[in-house]
Chain A
Amino acid sequence: MVVLCALASAAHAQWLDFPTKGIPRTADGKPNLSAPTPRTPDGRPILDGLWVADDSRHLGNLATDLKEVPFQPWAEKLFNERRANMGKDDPEARCMPQGVPKVNTLPYPFKIYTTPQAVVILYEMYYLHRQIFTDGRPFPKEFESPSWMGYSVGKWEGDDFVVETTGFNDQMWMDSLGHPHTDALHVTERFRRKDFGHMEVLATIDDPKAYTKPWSATIKQHLLPDTELLEFVCEKNLDPGHLVGK
């Protein structure tokens, strides 16, 4: 496969326009994002790369593809209150972590690195990270420190990288509308790279305290070639002082 490192742009401090190596390119040097899914020598899809959600539909409403959300009554009441308040209390507006699976829905990219022991994902927004352990370890028996991003383990099932995450706190909003969750939340994400430039994350929400049955969202992603992650430290957030609500 011919890799053309054309388009050498002016050096930029944060590699905003730096050509990515190893990307299949067409004759004119443009990334060929419909090239086949790259695979390891033993045939497993390679997920590594810089990705971002195609659109903000699931950030706005993770349940956007559902006709009806299987709320427990208290969760529906809380959801309606958050909606009526126009998201005034969204932790994201206070620069708190988005949590899982919301990190897959953001307008900022994330970068996947595969190591022998873990798949590591670096998220640009708020500078978050996850280690998805692939060394066969079980979940801890107890979660001494419930967390925003949870504890993640992953394994391959055919072409799907299947990530199970639990051990969450009860603080995150699963979208901007405010779908709630509890510390019983268990998220399954199936990462499926469709071709070189496209990937789907099928996220399933299983939280029996908040929902009567599991529900899912398929969040489409695309590869961002020839750019890099930027720093995103929430250094000066003036929003909280102006959040009025209704």
Chain B
Amino acid sequence: MGSKSLTLLAVVAGLILANLPAQAHHSFAAEYDTKKPVELTGTVTSIEWVNPHAWIHLDVKDESGKVTSWNFELGSPNLLLRNGWRKDTIKAGDVITVSGAAAKDGSNLANAKTVKTLDGKRVFNAGSSGEPGTPGAPSAAPQQ
């Protein structure tokens, strides 16, 4: 039996793609702005493994040393599970880089598209935009 870590290496290729708001779920386009991309590196303070969306809470330090807390919405735990994530894939204390789309309301909220660990190797497809290849898309069904 192959190692689970193989599935965890859900490497995302060609993920910068077509913006298809009509296919988004949960009113994605009403909440997030794909024209406001964010990419932040910080320390995970907690993970919430809850439906309809899992959350990564991240403390981000700027150049002056000021710490800002950010909330990243992921796909549902169910879709993350089927994409190879497990609830301990990312843990409190991990330093990660999250990229995604910022909330329209200006709060420290964004929809994660990808999550990279510090070594830069593990790239997880994370968001809930419903774009092809994300856990929100049915192509994320288990692979044989």
- The finding on whether chains A and B are genuine partners in a shared complex, rather than unrelated, reads yes
B138 touches A55 (CB 8 A): yes
Q: How far, in whole Å, are A55 and B21 apart by their CA atoms in the complex?
A: 15
A167 CB to closest chain B CB, in angstroms? 27
User: Which residues of the other chain, B, contact A93 by a CB distance below 8 angstroms?
Assistant: 26-27, 30-31
The verdict on A47 contacting chain B, using a C-beta distance below 8 Å, is no
Which chain A residues (42-58) contact chain B, with CB distance < 8 Å? 52-57
Assess the B141–A52 pair: CB atoms within 8 A.
yes
Residues of A within 8 A of B140 (CB): 107
A232 with B31, Cβ < 8 A, contacts A107-B25, A177-B22 known: no
**A244 and B104 within 8 A (CB):** yes
Q: Does B93 count as interface, using CB distance less than 8 angstroms? A: no
Does the CB pair A238–B23 fall under 8 Å?
Answer: no
List the B side residues contacting A17 at CB < 8 Å.
142
Determine whether the beta carbon of A54 is less than 8 Å from that of B138. Answer: yes
Q: Give Cα distance in the complex from A244 to B20, angstroms.
A: 18
Q: Which of B51, B73, B144 interacts with A233 by CB under 8 Å?
A: B51
Q: Which of A190-245 contact B (CB under 8 A)?
A: 222, 224-227, 230, 232-239, 242-245
Asked whether B136 is an interface residue with its Cβ less than 8 Å from the other chain, the reply is: yes
Q: Across the A-B interface, how many residue pairs have beta carbons closer than 8 Å?
A: 123
Considering the complex, give the chain A residue whose CB is closest to the CB of B54: A236
B139 within 8 A of A: yes
Taking CB atoms and an 8 Å cut-off, the chain A residues in 25-49 that contact chain B are: 30-31
Q: Which residues from chain B contact A59 at a C-beta distance below 8 Å?
A: 23, 25, 130
Contact flags B100-144 to A (C-beta < 8 A → 1, else 0) = 000111010100000000000000000000100000111111101
A7 close to B (CB within 8 Å): yes
Contacts known (A95-B52, A227-B142); A242 close to B23, Cβ less than 8 A: no
Quick check: is B39 within 8 A (CB to CB) of the other chain? no
Report the Cα distance A93→B30, complex, angstroms. Answer: 10
**Residue contact A86 to B27, C-beta cutoff 8 Å:** yes
Report the minimal beta-carbon distance from A50 to chain B, rounded to whole angstroms.
10
A45 to B8, CA, bound (A): 37
Contact call A124/B137, Cβ cutoff below 8 A? no
How far, in Å, is A9 (CB) from chain B's closest CB?
6
Contact B50 A236 (CB under 8 A): yes
A227 to B55, CA, bound (A): 25
Q: CA separation between A173 and B73, bound complex, in Å? A: 24
* CB-based contact B141/A224 at 8 Å: yes
Q: Which of B31, B55, B142 has the most CB of A within 10 A?
A: B31
Which of B21, B30, B105 has most A Cβ within 10 Å? B30
Residues on A with C-beta less than 8 A from B26 are 90, 92-93, 239
| Chain B 3-31 interface residues, beta-carbon cutoff 8 Å to A | 4, 20-31
Q: Does any Cβ of A come within 8 Å of B99's Cβ?
A: no
Most chain B beta carbons < 10 A, residue from A93, A124, A227: A93
Sample of 26 A–B contacts (CB below 8 Å): A9-B1, A10-B4, A16-B81, A54-B138, A56-B23, A59-B25, A60-B22, A60-B24, A60-B130, A86-B27, A86-B30, A89-B27, A90-B26, A93-B27, A95-B52, A107-B138, A177-B22, A224-B142, A230-B78, A232-B76, A232-B78, A236-B50, A239-B52, A239-B53, A242-B109, A244-B30
Known: A60-B22, A93-B31, A238-B55. 4 other contacts (CB 8 A): A54-B138, A90-B26, A226-B142, A239-B73
